[in-house]
Amino acid sequence: MVGKELDLPQEVWKRLTWFWGLGFVAIAIVNGYYVRLALAARENLFAATTLDKKIELTELDCVSLATDTAVQFCQNAQQTEASWVNFKLFGTMGLTFVLILLTVVLMSKHLKGKEV
């Protein structure tokens, strides 16, 4: 698609394709890490309490739970879920911008100055 507009060697396009593919795989791996942490903390909370598993963690008042252990599990579950949400919102966006900047650097090495 862009090949007609940008005159880059085929090898550069292949490298950029792999670069973006691997970049998104790396983002997916980091996302998977945060998901596993959040789900494990959530499961620990529900294993330690009699709470309904359908409850939203953001609606849960941790201090109202009966035991200190349950309060700790609840706070941990809320914090890990918040960390995952923050990564999904800010982390993926930031890493995508890094990929864009690196793409510009990689492409600029191969672009020839054109006068208008």
DSSP H stretches of helix in the chain: 10-48, 68-86, 92-108
Given a cut of 60, is residue 64 above it in pLDDT? yes
Q: Is 108 exposed, middle or buried (0-12, 13-18, 19+ CB in 10 A)?
A: exposed
Query: Can you tell me the distance from the alpha carbon of 62 to that of 10, in angstroms, rounded to the nearest whole number?
Result: 57
Given a cut of 80, is residue 59 above it in pLDDT? yes
The CA angle 11-15-18, to the nearest 5 degrees, is 140
Please enumerate, as own/partner, the contacts of 51-55 that have beta carbons within 8 Å and a separation of 24 or more.
Answer: none
Instruction: List the domain boundaries for the chain.
Output: 11-105
What is the pLDDT confidence band of residue 5, given thresholds at 50, 70 and 90? low
Q: What is the pLDDT of residues 17-51, one digit of tens each?
A: 999 999 999 999 999 999 999 999 999 999 988 88
Given a cut of 50, is residue 116 above it in pLDDT? no
Closest CA to 24 of 76, 111, 100, 85: 100
Find out whether 109 and 52 touch, Cβ atoms under 8 Å.
no
Contacts of residue 50, defined as CB under 8 A and 6 or more positions apart, other chains included, come to none
